[in-house]
Structure 1
Amino acid sequence: MSKVIRIGTRDSELALWQAKTVQNALEKTGHKTQLVPVKSTGDLNLDQPLYEMGITGIFTKTLDVAMIKGEVDIAVHSMKDVPTALPKGIVEGAVMKRASNKDILVHKGVKFLENGEGTIATGSLRRKAQWLNKYPGHNVVDLRGNVNTRMQKLNDNDWNGAIFAAAGLERIEIKPENFIDLNWMIPAPAQGAMLIVAMENDDYCREALAMLNHKESEICVHIEREFLKVLEGGCTAPIGALAKVLDNHVHFHGALFSLDGTKKIEVEKSVEIRDIENLGKEAAMEILTNGGKELMDSIKSVLNN
């Protein structure tokens, strides 16, 4: 059996870059493909903060529906945007080799970092909380839109800087010279990774995608997402997580922050790669027993009101 694999994607420049990367990889393995771009709810509504829109799945829901309706065969996502529980009937097909997991600050000069005052833009609760944890005197404003839109908004406003994922700017080659790596900032779970999903009953697409899977990246992002799933329980929260494979060991660093950044509960673990089962869950449970449960309850009460 042979068929044209219809690749569902958001229609932003970055999403299309990701989809074309998957398209090229599939065609190198002898498969025929077609790109099918769609607009997501998250792309259409740029005025409302993500957490007010019910952030879980806001960028993936439209593609999920298109897959279930049979309009596309697979969908390509930035994995950090994908809910930890996939819709019934949809499964992971492949995790592509991970790009940079770093956050960066695109700035208009860094002197403000020394004087205790400044304004930074980000639409991420995680980035906001970590920034305020390090720079409590700064003001953080909401910033929405695709990477091109956010970059333009930074240029149009008198903010000192804005926080971006390095991978996104590098992929579409708009990473400017005026940036600094935020090596102290713990990235979002699965940041820098691309996930391709397929329908569970579609053996042809699942077999095609299995050829694209990068095992080390898959191991790390699954640990991070397990940590996220146990901690958040369906609620968005300022959570960072990063797993790395080094010398046959997996090193994990995760943290939960209060919304204002004043509280930080973190965990670090290192295990042999053969012992990774439940690593993310155990790290999350350690956070929860060290005050994380109460902190999550307070976060939920604020975001749900």
Structure 2
Amino acid sequence: MKIRIASRKSALAMWQSEHIKKRLEAAGHECEIIKMSTKGDVILDTPLAKIGGKGLFTKELENALLEGRADIAVHSLKDVPTRFEAGLELACVCSRENTNDCLLSMNYTSLEGLRLGARVGTTSLRRRMQILARRPDLKVISLRGNVNSRISKLQNGVFDAIILARAGITRLGLEKLVNHISPLGTVPAMGQGALGIEIASQNSAVKEAIAFLNDEKSVIETSIERAFVDTLNGGCQAPIGISAVLSGDKVRVKAILGLVDGSEILSAEREFCAKLGSEAGVILAREFIARGAKELLERSEQMSNAMEF
């Protein structure tokens, strides 16, 4: 079967699509990658939270699926909204990479070691919230663009440190470009480290052909994380961290959310029976709602809209 893969043009997106292409070709399929630009790739002078949040990196790829120009779309699952447009579905969640956020720096070995008032680059409100809760003195600045341009700004001293996902660092071999990489210990985004494959719901033949890419452990973990965010009605850009880790018949879930300046935070860590599946995320989200999570997220959105990044 020939399978057309819709992909963003960025280095990381292309790595991900090439990775899936190789796996599909090893299974006997012919593959073609169709490169596209998304709204999130084109608008680089505005923080993500201010240009729409949901679907910033997926909409154009989804249109290609609906119009029959592509058969599958490969996404970083953390960028995929929890609800799909009619006619689309998440067909596979592939085996997960490391879910950590990491601090990259030319001169500093840890967040705690950064100089007073250091300039830290990140696009994520979730990361901003968590690092400011630990280091309110830091100057956190929006950092957009491809990975190479972000690294270049770090190397040229525009930033004292930047924050990237460990999965992307590993996939692109960025270790050689910076002097220090250290795990942050922050709670990651839903689906972080996993690749999600989206298809048109009617394309049952393709769904069957790619089913072998599904990883059961990753499906369980990410379904819990996505259910948590969905129940809170929090978009991909909301300051929400959620991590589910499956071990045997138990799953450990850690969650955090709050104001983008880190001044007010709700967090919890719970263990659930794995058989609950996504319901575990719903249960934890309802606990957060009872503690005022929705009101806190509304205040956080108002704060981020008023902020200069």
Question: What fraction of aligned residue pairs are identical, expressed as a percent?
Answer: 35
Within 2, Cα distance between the matches of 1:104 and 1:262? Answer: 22
Measured in 2, the distance between the counterparts of 1:85 and 1:53 equals 19
For 2:278 and 2:173, how far apart are their aligned partners in 1? 37
Report the CA distance shift for 1:173/1:235 in structure 2 as closer, same or farther (over 3 A): closer
How far residue 184 of structure 1 moved from its aligned partner, in angstroms, is 2.2
CA contact (8 A) 2:227 2:281 kept: yes
Return structure 1 stretches of 4+ with deviation > 6 angstroms.
none
Identify unmatched segments of 5+ residues in structure 1: none
Shift in CA distance, 238/248, structure 1 to aligned 2, threshold 3 Å: same
User: Could you tell me how far apart the structure 2 residues matched to 1:233 and 1:137 are?
Assistant: 27
User: Matches of residues 167-206 of structure 1 in structure 2 within 5 Å?
Assistant: 167-176=167-176, 178-206=179-207
Q: Deviations over 1:192-245 (max 9, x none)?
A: 000011110011110011111001001101100111111234584210010001
Alpha-carbon separation, structure 1, partners of 2:72 and 2:278: 28
Preserved CA contact (<8 Å) 2:227 2:278:
no
Residue 104 of structure 1 corresponds to 102
Between the aligned partners of 1:95 and 1:297, the Cα distance in structure 2 is 30
Amino acid paired to 2:126: R
Q: Which runs of structure 2 are paired with 1:57-136 in the superposition (5 Å)?
A: 57-110=55-108, 113-114=112-113, 116-136=116-136
Distance in 2 separating the partners of 1:179 and 1:202? 45
Query: Which residue does the alignment assign to 2:264?
Result: 263
Contact 2:87 2:200 in 1 (8 A): yes
* One-letter identity of the residue aligned with 1:174: L
Q: Secondary structure at the match of 2:296?
A: helix
TM-score (norm 1): 0.94
TM-score by length of 2: 0.93
Looking at structure 2, the residues matched to 78 and 103 of structure 1 have their Cα atoms a distance apart, in angstroms, of: 14
CA contact 1:232–1:296 (8 Å) conserved in 2: no
1:34 aligns with 2:32: yes
SS state at 2:291 partner: helix
Letter in 1 for 2:14: L
Partner of 1:142: 142
In 2, the alpha carbon distance for the partners of 1:136 and 1:51 equals 21
Count, aligned residues: 303
In the superposition, relative to structure 1, how do residues 237 and 171 fare at CA in structure 2: closer, same or farther (>3 Å)? Answer: same
Separation in 2, partners of 1:189, 1:175: 24
> Which of 25-34 and 73-82 deviates more?
25-34
Aligned to 2:247: 246
Report the aligned-residue RMSD: 1.7
Partner SS, residue 15 of structure 1:
helix
Comparing 228-237 and 154-163, the one that deviates more: 228-237
- Write the distance in 2 (CA, Å) between the matches of 1:7 and 1:41: 19
Cα deviation 1:90-132 (Å, max 9, x = unaligned): 1111111000101000012227834543111101101111110
Name the structure 1 match of 2:228: 227
